Chains A and B, each alone.
Chain A
Amino acid sequence: SQKIEQNSEALNIQEGKTATLTCNYTNYSPAYLQWYRQDPGRGPVFLLLIRENEKEKRKERLKVTFDTTLKQSLFHITASQPADSATYLCALDGSNDYKLSFGAGTTVTVRA
């Protein structure tokens, strides 16, 4: 069966450190992978999209890698701030069909 697994339910880090989140998938052949941020009681907000032929993507303090051989994506928040505290969701398509399946998310708490 298809699975999207995000590492650990919660990640607590000190302000200024780098948070690294993992997304592993099985039985998918995604054309692209996306990351979202979700605050409590709110809808997810799109952060980054990385295609299968891209190894790395950056946006400000965010960096995403995509390894289709390992079937894994890493999401890094560098120089983390308390405002980065949220749940981060990994999402990928089935096979370029515009329908996204989501992981359960990793909750990040950044301590001042």
Chain B
Amino acid sequence: SQTIHQWPATLVQPVGSPLSLECTVEGTSNPNLYWYRQAAGRGLQLLFYSVGIGQISSEVPQNLSASRPQDRQFILSSKKLLLSDSGFYLCAWSVKVNGYTFGSGTRLTVV
């Protein structure tokens, strides 16, 4: 069956520290992969998406980056976190025109 793993579930990081969030997908090949961020009481904002290994599209300019080193692995990174990076980060996958499957999310608090 198809599953998506996202970790960690919660993270508290100081301003200026690095970030690495990982997402892996099982049970499907060549998925489209996405990173979204959701601020409190707000909608989901698309940050990055990828249609294949090494192919990353950035939707919003900011101090975050993404990488896809393997077909079913998607990583969100930052070299130096800002207070404004706090939020709920969600990884998702899809194949062709179908609903997205989201991970359980990472609640990031930058202090």
Contacts and interface: CB of A to CB of B under 8 A. Distances in A.
A109 B94 CA distance: 29
Report the interface size class on chain B: 20 to 34
A61 interface: no
B102 A100 contact: no
Contacts of B41: 104
Interface string B85-111: 000001010101111111111010000
Contacts, number: 57
B49 A49 contact: no
Interface string A7-24: 000000000000000000
Interface of A: 4, 31-32, 34, 36, 41-47, 49, 89, 91, 96, 98-105
A43 B101 CA distance: 9
Contact of B42 (A42, A98, A104): A104
A49 B102 contact: no
A101 B100 contact: no
Given A43-B102, A49-B97, A100 B107 contact: no
Contact of A45 (B34, B97, B102): B102
A75 to B, nearest CB: 14
Contacts of A43: 6, 90, 92, 102-105
B53 interface: no
B21 to A, nearest CB: 13
A37 B97 CA distance: 18
B98 A44 contact: no
B105 A102 contact: no
A45 B104 CA distance: 10
